[in-house]
Structure 1
Amino acid sequence: MNSPDASHSDEFPYDDVVSALPHAFGEPGARGVLRARFEDFVVDEQLPVEPDGSGEHVLLQVRKTGLNTQDVVQRLSRFSGVRQRDIGFAGQKDRNAVTTQWFSLLLINQVEPDWSGLDSDAMQVLQAHRHGRKLKRGALRANRFQLMVRDFDGDPEDIAERIDAMRRIGMPNYFGAQRFGRRGSNLYGALRMFTSGKRPRQRNRAGMMLSAARSLLFNQVLAERVRLGNWATAIAGDYMALDGSRSGFVCESPDAEIAQRLAAFDIHPSGPLYGDGPLKTQGEALALETRVLADWPEWRTGLENARASADRRALRARVADLEWALDGGSLRLSFELPRGSFATALVRELLA
């Protein structure tokens, strides 16, 4: 899939940049309906620390249904009088789900309101604790998922084999369709920003576009590794990401120790979150990434000119506590994913 020029952007299928990505375990044959109801997609954030019990901030655990994260921020701001910029959260959560999420509010020398006044069918405050720091983006240990796939039609043995494979080696850490906006709107916006040189006035909107552009390029590199069958193994020159960390190292030559650490999910091969900075890979891995990214000149130049910071992301995600069951005509799934990984990336390995 090649990069579009501004003159022929209408030919590029921004509306759906995920469905054509290759599958790690072969094309799935099963079918079903996900998100027929809000309660079919349940997400619970797992914080890496416990609340301090004292401090200038209040940590709220909120369960929301049919609301996105920004909807909750607005409700919290109106109810408490805290400015939206003084409300923190660790990650964005979908509207079409039941999600349990943490928020921090800066409340200095203020009496806490009665948080039960926020309770409604769409939102409930489950816990409130004093805390010493604002909750920052990415400050998550993991997300826990419980999914219901209705009208399931597939071979249980095939599902069992795919589940077993993901337990053993993980899943491709693709960015899901949510990252790219409704019908690819974040990508259309990014291309307009790159070609015009003008950023949207809303800083948050520009950030979403840049994030979508980086995610698009990452998915292309991962897709090539999936095609080659080495997305979960190391090749010469790979930048290996330490599990649960932003640190890593260059693997000059894969050996038995590297294979052992991969099998233990201690390290993962990584791919580029493209931006203004080096790719960090060497040798074979650098040649592969350079070849794939050569097809996307406008996107690379746009990200460089926007001074997006270059970073790395693991090519695979560990799927913890993965369980499944058939319940009448439905498939139930439960599992835990690292922060930033998409449950829909797991589901696409099971369902067509």
Structure 2
Amino acid sequence: MRDADSSFSSAPVTWPPAWPFALAPPELDGEYRLTPEDFQVEEQFDFAPEGAGEHLWVWIEKRGINTAEVARLLAASAGVAARDVGFSGLKDRDAVTRQWFSLALPGRALPDGWDANLAERGVRCLEAIRHPRKLKRGVHRGNRFRLRIAGEAAQATQTRERWETLVASGVPNYFGPQRFGPDGRNLHRALSLLARGWRKRQDPQGLLLSSARSYLFNAVLAARVEDGSWGRPLPGDVLNLEGTASRFSVTAVDVETLARAASGDVHPTGPMWGAGELQSDLAVAERERSVADAHPVLSEGIVATGTRQNRRALRVMLQQATWTPAEAGSVWLEFTLPRGAFATAVLRELFCHPTLI
């Protein structure tokens, strides 16, 4: 394996580079997440706990603490092992978020006062219901966001116009800067680890591996954004059916397929890099391979882990989107995204902010 990626040898310390935008780059400054209450997230599921079973599901609201920390606190409070706590998605620390956790408690209840130490850390239990099974990762349908933006961008007509365009046409489905860590440190740690040979004990949660795969996906998406094809099918694409995990390949693109893409019914996909053959074909596959070839330590290192190829939609649609003017010239944005999509990918299309570049 090669020692370094040439593209990283002179990379800036901050991450990510300023990839092109779906529209002309926003010019106005804006603010968001001035307080945790300005960034609210609620998990959404296609099912509800059944009311009986060996696992107690608790609906948690947290503030100023991340999901993994809550899971550890729940395990200690309930007197169970960390492996007996389940959750579906990771939620931001600097936000007010609501999500389900599960606790394996066959034949017993939670002890009195179990939630006292949680309250001290900004965690509230809103509901508790029994269910037969542990909550597994990635089973929620999506997330509902309620975000307050402020500053000159919030008061500008052009920002509202950009918002309406994004609601109608979708947003490039970039992985947000959270995936790469402050100043891109997770990515640079991933580069170092993959150059040596990835070992699970050095990346037990797969965070660094995920960062590397996310970077390659973003690089493919950036190229498609630059030529305007991020929402338009090309021959050789693998298309994703909106709102489902269904995918199909197209070797030729007809009028019907273009119309379905224009309406947001299907989306081109990009590779989540890994072992195995690319599912795409023709010039689309050539472009994806060229991105991987430009970052050999990342791409070869990912393949060496045995992680299998997968696909992710290049475009994401905002569901049930609203724009509501608020106090002091600010605006509340509300929208639902499928799991794995980032609200910061939406905000970066609306205004300029140092954490959204």
- Per the TM superposition, whether the score is higher than 0.5 is yes
8 Å CA contact retained: 2:176, 2:342: yes
Structure 2 SS opposite 1:119: helix
Amino acid at match of 2:311: R
- Cα distance change of structure 1 residues 279 and 346 upon mapping to structure 2, 3 Å threshold: same
1:53-98 residue CA offsets vs partner (Å, 9 max, x unmatched) = 1111111110000000011001101100121111111111111111
After TM superposition, give the deviation of residue 236 of structure 1 in Å.
0.5
Where does residue 13 of structure 1 map in the other structure?
Answer: 12
Matches of 2:154 and 2:3, distance apart in 1: 37
- Given residue 342 of structure 2, which amino acid in structure 1 is its aligned partner? F
Name the counterpart of 2:270: 271
Per-residue CA deviations over 1:147-184 (Å, capped at 9, x if unaligned) read 11233346632122211211212100000000011221
Is residue 198–residue 301 contact of structure 2 (8 Å, CA) maintained in 1?
A: no
Structure 2 counterpart of 1:296? 295
5 Å-filtered alignment, 1:224-235, equals 224-235=223-234
Partners of 1:237 and 1:282 within 8 A in 2: yes
Shift of the alpha carbon at 1:103?
Answer: 0.7
**Contact 1:214/1:273 (CA < 8 Å) preserved in 2?**
yes
Farther-moved stretch of structure 1 (237-246 vs 69-78):
237-246
CA distance in 1, matches of 2:5, 2:24: 35
- Once residues 109 and 239 of structure 2 are traced to their aligned partners in structure 1, the CA distance between those partners, rounded to angstroms, is 48
Aligned to 1:49: 47
Is there any run of 5+ residues in structure 1 with no aligned partner, and where? none
**SS of residue in 1 equivalent to 2:151:** strand
Letter of the 2:228 counterpart? G
Q: Does 1:248 align with 2:247?
A: yes
Q: Is the 8 A contact 1:89 1:135 kept in 2?
A: yes
Using the TM superposition, give the Cα deviation of residue 202 of structure 1 relative to its aligned residue in structure 2, in angstroms.
Answer: 5.1
1:14–1:187 CA contact under 8 A, matched in 2: no
Letter in 1 for 2:231: A
- Partners of 2:25 and 2:6 in 1: CA distance: 34
Please state whether the residue corresponding to 2:303 is helix, strand or coil: helix
1:315 maps to which residue? 314
Aligned to 1:70: 68
| Counterpart position of 1:219 | 218
Counting matched residue pairs gives 348
Partner of 1:181: 181
AA at the equivalent of 2:37: E
| Alignment partner, residue 40 of structure 1 | 38
Amino acid paired to 1:88 = G
Structure 1 residue 290: deviation in Å? Answer: 2.0
Change (3 A) 1:190 1:342: same
What does residue 281 of structure 1 align with? Answer: 280
Residues 202/192 of structure 1: CA separation in 2 closer, same or farther (3 Å cut): closer
- 2-side partners of 1:279 and 1:43: how far apart? 34
CA RMSD of aligned residues (A): 2.1
Question: Which residue does the alignment assign to 1:160?
Answer: 160
Q: Please say which of residues 273-282 and 148-157 is displaced more in the overlay.
A: 148-157
Contact 1:14 1:188 in 2 (8 A): no
- Does the CA-based 8 Å contact 1:152-1:331 persist in structure 2? no
Q: CA deviation at 1:113?
A: 3.5
- Specify the alignment match of 1:107 in structure 2: 105
- CA contact 2:31–2:151 (8 Å) conserved in 1: yes
The answer to whether the 8 Å contact 1:277/1:310 transfers is yes
Match of 2:57 among 56, 59, 76: 59
TM-score, structure 1 normalization: 0.93
Q: Residues 329 and 154 of structure 1: is their aligned pair in 2 closer, same or farther, counting only changes over 3 Å?
A: closer
Cα distance in 2 between the residues matched to 1:339 and 1:141:
6
Q: Which runs of 5+ in 2 are unaligned?
A: 353-357
Residues 155, 329 of structure 2: 8 Å contact kept: no
Question: Equivalents in 1 of 2:22, 2:52: separation in Å?
Answer: 47
Distance in 1, matches of 2:198 and 2:273, equals 20
Supply the distance in 1 between the matched residues of 2:350 and 2:6 (Cα, whole angstroms).
Answer: 38
Deviates more, 1:290-299 or 1:95-104: 290-299
Which of the numbers 65, 71, 79 marks the counterpart of 1:81? 79
Percent identity of the aligned residues?
41
For residues 240 and 7 of structure 1, the distance between their equivalents in structure 2, rounded to whole angstroms, comes to 32
Q: Aligned to 1:351, what secondary structure does the other structure show?
A: coil
